[in-house]
Structure 1
Amino acid sequence: MVKLTLKEKFAFHLIFSEKKTYYRWYGRFLSFGVEYERIKRVVSRISSWLQWCNEWTKEGNHLYNMAEEALQNGYATKARKLFHEAVGCYHIGQHIFFIDSTQKESTQEKARKSYKKAISLYDEKEKPIRIDIPFNGVKIPGYLRLSDSNNKPLIIFVNGMDNIKEAEGHFQGTLFKQQGFNHFTFDGPGQGEMWQRMKFDAKEYHKAVSAIIDWFEEQKIYEIDLAKIALVGFSLGGYLAPICAAYDSRVKAVVGNSGLVYIGGLKGLKALNPIWQRGVTYMTGCENLEEVRDKFDWDIEEQPNLKVPLLFYHAGKDEVMPSPKVHAEKMMRWAKGEKTLKYYENGEHCTQNYLDEVFPEIIDWFKIKLEG
């Protein structure tokens, strides 16, 4: 575990507690299959942020072992549910735990292993399809969920700073699949499984998404309507998805949620909470913020304008970024096509306390824009 600065120790002690922080994340944790009472039980065992990853990894191990036992007893449905919940626990543990990359990567690998176990228990028609897409000498790893009907649109989910395709990506994929869409979730440069192969560079990320679209167009393996491609992204993905859509005219609609649309150079990076400072150095593979600046600095209004329909969500009580309303305003100025801003004054980061409203609305909006 890396040595914490005095500022970091103070910030982690002050900020990361049940009352101040953990409760804000519960909506998100619930959204990828971890039961509420389990969340409360695990959090009750944690008195310090330094324990976070370890305690959630223990819970994931417990669920994984229960799943294996269920499978041995012939209870495949129970096993699949428990493997998925183990993925959720592992993901919670490693999520934004940038203070020990070894521990983080070990727990993330457990999530990938448990996910493979879970999806091995699906019927072939329902099973997520593993796809590895060549990109700049490496491969972009992802999972495709196919609609039950042919020639339906493709929704590509763009991860945030520290999502993994096996958690949020899977459960969002289930929602879209149930509503007749094809859905592809992936780990991009600096994210999840791909972090080991290629680090994050804001100027290059859109090329990875275009490579994914190229692959689907070239392969033509699946009955997908590739004239109707859309992107959706949350958190950092709420910035990346619109930017990728601006760079690739094959994208016909885009949804962003809580996008960090400008950084403000080194001054802006230093203004971030210490945990996000560690996050940007981790994603980029840099040693310090001075090195980070070249790879993690942008202003959306200096990028090519978006010309396709945009649905953008922002939250007034977003604790991740300073001045969230400014980000929303910049996004609306930048987008030159049809655009809709849904601003939740009492919303938390990624409107996670309003997801019961947001997800159905996103699906309906895509149906209107892509299927008419």
Structure 2
Amino acid sequence: MDSTPAADERTSAAIAHWAPRFVSNGIPLHDFTVTTASVHEWSQWCARWVERGRVHEELGDQALTDGHTRSAGEHLRRAALCYHFGAFLFVEHTDEMFAAHAQAVAAYNRALPHLDPPGRRIEIPYQGSHLVGVLRVPDVPAPPPVVVMVAGLDSTKEEMGAYEEHLHQRGLATLAFDGPGQGEAQRHLPMRPDFEVPVGAVVDHLATLPEVAQRVGIYGVSLGGHYVVRATAFEPRIAACASISGSYRVADNWEGRPPMTRAAYRVRAHLASDEATARFVERLDLSGVAGRATAPLYVVAGTADRLTPHTAGIRIADEAAGPTVLDVVEGGNHVVNNMPYRYRPQVADWMNHRLRS
């Protein structure tokens, strides 16, 4: 008879729903299975993933000692992902969450020079402060177009590598950055609905970088998929936009979202109450905005998405003013992480074509 205690409700929900995201973005299935099996109470979640991250960081250390820099980059990036997923939605334990996030940033920074293509950490001037991004430019004969990568509610630039690799393979550069309420900006800059403002600062900075061409695409997942449509509507320098599982209006299914997700909105927006948070998300609304997006748009939605109904993607595509591709994936979950092969290469092909047209 198995005497292993059953996981609590939050942990059970995480294990049931998050495997496709973790695995498709770089966590080995074995690590997901073993690590989550050791978590019986949600309060243990972050610590267990930090322990797993240390396994990969030690492998990275050994690879560096042995002079195997490519392997070191892979191990250290995987360590960063483990630390990141330890902090993921751990908003009721902010000290532990912030510490795990800092470990993710540190491990990823160590990985950057050993990745292919290598990454460079940059600071983007922003309203008296700065935003942090990672620029990765493939080894190509001429400065390539660049795609700005926008993460979701509780994601960060450290998680975007699995999307970026398809773009790099096609000779495109990427700039993944933490916007207000995300990653390295989460403690001092609250999230904001008018995401065209930070995106404008990013595009301004890109114009100063000689290693990339002044031809800019944007690619967002989850809440980032909402942000990028709005940014494209108001930022004319964006030449192509990919929106993956972006909400049309976040408030439409607010009460149906998991409690941890609603709590993350409260913390990321620097708000004190659930009532204030519910009022805030009313502003995350593309009504009257999507129709202003004239740049080419690629929209992906999954029919089994429990966070963002696929009808939101259909509505965005229907209202967009420019040429639009709508890809509704039958059985696709949130961000279609259960079938990434159904859209990640296709979006990269489309983005490459649009930015070089």
Q: Same fold (TM over 0.5)?
A: yes
Offset of residue 122 of structure 1: 5.0
Match of 1:182 in 2: 173
Match of 2:53 in 1: 60
Determine helix, strand or coil for the equivalent of 1:143.
Answer: strand
Distance 2:256 2:36 in 1: 28
Aligned to 1:161, which of 136, 153, 156? 153
Aligned residues: 348
For 1:30, give the aligned amino acid. V
Whether 1:145 and 2:133 are equivalent positions in the alignment is no
User: What does the per-residue CA deviation read over 1:133-172, in whole Å, with 9 as the maximum and x for residues that have no partner?
Assistant: 111111010011113221321111111101111222x333
For 2:147, give the aligned amino acid. I
Distance 1:155 1:88 in 2: 21
Match of 1:7 in 2: none
Match of 2:238 in 1: 251
CA contact (8 A) 2:167 2:173 kept: yes
User: What does the per-residue CA deviation read over 1:226-257, in whole Å, with 9 as the maximum and x for residues that have no partner?
Assistant: 1x211110000111011101111111111101
Cα RMSD of the aligned pairs, angstroms, is 2.1
Match of 1:47 in 2: 40
| Aligned counterparts, 1:22-171, within 5 A | 22-121=15-114, 126-149=117-140, 150-168=142-160, 170-171=161-162
Show structure 1 runs of 5+ residues with no match.
1-11
Distance 2:143 2:78 in 1: 32
Offset of residue 283 of structure 1: 0.8
Match of 2:286 in 1: 300
For 2:191, give the aligned amino acid. F
Match of 2:210 in 1: 222
Distance 1:191 1:152 in 2: 27
Match of 2:251 in 1: 264
Match of 1:333 in 2: 318
For 1:153, give the aligned amino acid. P
CA change 1:157–1:106 in 2 (3 A) is same
CA contact (8 A) 1:230 1:251 kept: yes
CA change 1:253–1:78 in 2 (3 A) is closer
| Aligned counterparts, 1:189-228, within 5 A | 189-203=180-194, 205-217=195-207, 219=208, 221-226=209-214, 228=215
Determine helix, strand or coil for the equivalent of 1:152.
Answer: coil
Aligned to 2:261, which of 276, 281, 289? 276
Offset of residue 271 of structure 1: 4.2
Match of 2:224 in 1: 237
User: What does the per-residue CA deviation read over 1:315-370, in whole Å, with 9 as the maximum and x for residues that have no partner?
Assistant: 1111224xx13312321232121112111231110011110121110011112222
Distance 1:147 1:83 in 2: 20
User: What does the per-residue CA deviation read over 1:29-87, in whole Å, with 9 as the maximum and x for residues that have no partner?
Assistant: 22333222122111111223332111111111222233223433444343322211111
Distance 1:178 1:340 in 2: 22
Distance 2:115 2:28 in 1: 21
Determine helix, strand or coil for the equivalent of 2:292.
Answer: coil
- Normalised by the length of structure 2, the TM-score is 0.91
CA contact (8 A) 1:154 1:183 kept: yes
Offset of residue 105 of structure 1: 0.7
- Of all paired residues, the percent bearing the same amino acid is 24
Determine helix, strand or coil for the equivalent of 1:253.
Answer: strand
Distance 2:54 2:69 in 1: 18
Offset of residue 293 of structure 1: 4.3
For 1:157, give the aligned amino acid. M
Match of 1:3 in 2: none
Show structure 2 runs of 5+ residues with no match.
1-6
CA change 1:129–1:328 in 2 (3 A) is same
Distance 2:300 2:331 in 1: 12
Match of 1:9 in 2: none
Offset of residue 111 of structure 1: 0.6
CA contact (8 A) 2:74 2:115 kept: no
- Normalised by the length of structure 1, the TM-score is 0.87
Distance 1:87 1:179 in 2: 25
CA change 1:13–1:331 in 2 (3 A) is farther
Distance 1:80 1:110 in 2: 15
